[in-house]
Amino acid sequence: MVIAWVSLVALLVHVFVSWLFVYRFQLGVFGIVVILNFSWWVLVVGLFAYTVCGGCPLTWTGFTMKAFSGLWEFAKLSAAFGVMLCLENWYYRVLILKTGHLKNAEIVVDALSI
């Protein structure tokens, strides 16, 4: 239930600040980008404040060295995921470039986008 309330507050803040930045300050798309990041941080800070300020007394007991125990495994997994994501992105771009040299390039590229 707490997640719903924090999300509702973040939504209300997002709507108000979006109106403020887009219509009042005339920032356009740049304002939308800034506000979207701001709104995500409102959600994160709200849930963090709930956890730290006593909303969940059994979940937050402070930082200990136990919190950093599986950090190396997490870093290896994150690095592997980053490499996989880069390879997938590069593969797709090379595939598009290679198909551009075929006879019916427009049809082939359209088929790739399905």
Give the tokens for residue 111.
């088929």
pLDDT score recorded for residue 66: 85
Angle between helices 105-112 and 71-99 (to 10 degrees): 150
Average pLDDT over residues 51-80: 86
**Residue 59, pLDDT above cutoff 80:** no
How confident is the model over 11-32, as pLDDT tens digits? 999 999 999 999 999 998 999 9
User: Whole-structure pTM over 0.75, yes or no?
Assistant: no
Map residue 32 onto helix, strand or coil: helix
Alpha helical stretches, state H, the chain: 2-19, 28-50, 71-99, 105-112
Domain ranges in the chain? Answer: 1-62, 67-114
User: What percent of the chain is predicted at pLDDT more than 90?
Assistant: 55
